[in-house]
Amino acid sequence: MKRFALPLAALLAVAPAAARADERPYAFTYEPVVSAEGETELEVYETWVRPHGAPASQGTFEHQLEVGRGITGALTLSGYAVFRTTPDKNFEASAFKLEGKYKLLDAASAPVDLVLYLEGEKEVVDDKPWAIEQKLIFGRTYGRFGWAVNLIAEQEWPSGGGTETKFGWSAGMSLEPLQGVRLGVESLGERKKGPGEPAEFSTSVGPAAVFTLPFGGKALNSSWLIVGAQFGLNDASDDVQLRAVLGCDF
């Protein structure tokens, strides 16, 4: 699986784009949008991470399957099944997540679009923690140009006791040079502090893009491929993070 996931995503990326390109152009940053009422969204994530100073052979894959549903025009609920491939394990379940997004402000009647985000996660590997993540997602699109910012807080409770806290951001800007293609750049930052440990700060930056895909016909409202990369800027950051997201809604 880890040999073929990203090459497959790269192959799909060169497919001709269809007429729409309103899906998010960022691999790691959320835009302040929710699904329409009654709309179902399906996304498959493939993420490869190479830790700082490690060779490529020590990189790990995370595989995620997300199913989301527009409950109302303002509320979307999603569930994730998360798996991983490591140098020691070919494939194993790693976590389950539930996510809610609520659109509080709309740019049609406010200065920005604003979405509130809440996620609960239970890991089933390593120290098997519970975690809760909150995000304030805001931004705006002006014709072919758009931007988005996520302010992030997370609390994690490892099985050994104590609380690990994380505070951070992700932010991006994007441009639509061609119909069906949006190109962007995004940055991530995080301050993490584990129980009895000093605080650690990591940051990264890299490109991202979304391609609207020409398959699905009338069965799908739209389908898309998102690709992105992040390159670490300090010793506490992963050297490389690569992500491809293949999705559709119907």
Give 177-197 pLDDT, tens digit per residue: 998 899 999 999 999 998 889
First to last CA, the chain: 27
Q: Give the predicted TM-score (pTM) of the model.
A: 0.89
5-249 CATH choice from 3.20.20.100, 2.40.160.40, 3.40.1710.10, 1.10.600.10:
2.40.160.40
Extract the tokens encoding 88. Answer: 């020691």
* Sequence spans of domains, the chain: 5-249
Give the range among 58-62, 87-91, 101-105, 151-155 with minimum mean pLDDT: 87-91
Find where tokens 């998360």 sit: 82
pLDDT-derived band at 218 (thresholds 50, 70, 90) equals low
Extract the tokens encoding 93. Answer: 């379940």
Residues 24, 212: contact at Cβ < 8 Å?
Answer: no
Neighbour count for residue 219 (Cβ, 10 Å): 9
For residue 148, which of 44, 28, 21 has the smallest C-alpha distance?
Answer: 28
How many Å apart are CA 185 and CA 230, to the nearest integer? 9
Question: Does residue 12 register a pLDDT over 80?
Answer: no
pLDDT-derived band at 161 (thresholds 50, 70, 90) equals confident
Q: What is the pLDDT of residues 23-53, one digit of tens each?
A: 689 999 999 999 999 999 999 999 999 999 9
Extract the tokens encoding 15. Answer: 């497919």
Q: What is the mean pLDDT of residues 51-73?
A: 97
How many Å apart are CA 161 and CA 152, to the nearest integer? 23
Neighbour count for residue 115 (Cβ, 10 Å): 24
How many Å apart are CA 106 and CA 114, to the nearest integer? 7
How many Å apart are CA 75 and CA 25, to the nearest integer? 21
Across the chain, mean pLDDT equals: 90
Give ∠ CA 42-35-241 in degrees, rounded to 5: 55
**Per-residue model confidence (pLDDT) at position 222:** 87
Give the range among 18-22, 70-74, 128-132, 223-227 with minimum mean pLDDT: 18-22
Find where tokens 């497919």 sit: 15
Q: What share of the chain has pLDDT > 90, as a percent?
A: 81
pLDDT-derived band at 164 (thresholds 50, 70, 90) equals very high
Extract the tokens encoding 231. Answer: 């390159």
Phi, psi of 5 (to 5 degrees): -60, -50
- Non-local (6+) Cβ contacts of 22 within 8 A are 222
Neighbour count for residue 199 (Cβ, 10 Å): 11
Going by the DSSP 8-state scheme, the letter that residue 35 receives in this structure is P
Cα dihedral sign, 52-58-59-61 = negative
- Non-local (6+) Cβ contacts of 143 within 8 A are none
